[in-house]
Amino acid sequence: MTQAYDVLVEVENLRCPMPLLKTKQALSSMKSGQVVKVLTKDSGSWRDIPAFVEISNHSMIEKQKQDDMYIFIIAKGE
């Protein structure tokens, strides 16, 4: 995965709902158009983070599962 990002959220050791909350916090402090990369091992995040992006004005650039790691790349909306 070579997508560039502005903010990295490493929450591998946190469980639901913390990865989603940390992702929301990161996005709220970013400027429109910036990109966040989220790394988590919480399986609930595979459902929760895309569901959040779907109802927000942000865009999912990429989501990927590598072994026990879930990776999300999200662009902040307006």
What are the residue boundaries of the structural domains of the chain, listed by start?
Answer: 7-75
- Give the pLDDT confidence score for residue 55 in this predicted structure: 97
- Give the pLDDT confidence score for residue 5 in this predicted structure: 97
Sheet holding 59-66, edge to edge: 7-11, 35-40, 69-75, 59-66
> In 1-78, which ranges are continuous DSSP H helix?
18-28, 45-55
Q: pTM for the full model?
A: 0.94
Q: Is beta strand 69-75 parallel, antiparallel or unpaired with respect to 35-40?
A: antiparallel
Q: What is the CATH number of domain 7-75?
A: 3.30.110.40
- Give the pLDDT confidence score for residue 3 in this predicted structure: 81
- Give the pLDDT confidence score for residue 2 in this predicted structure: 67
- Give the pLDDT confidence score for residue 75 in this predicted structure: 98
- Cβ-contact 42, 68 below 8 angstroms: no
Residue ranges, the chain, pLDDT below 50: none
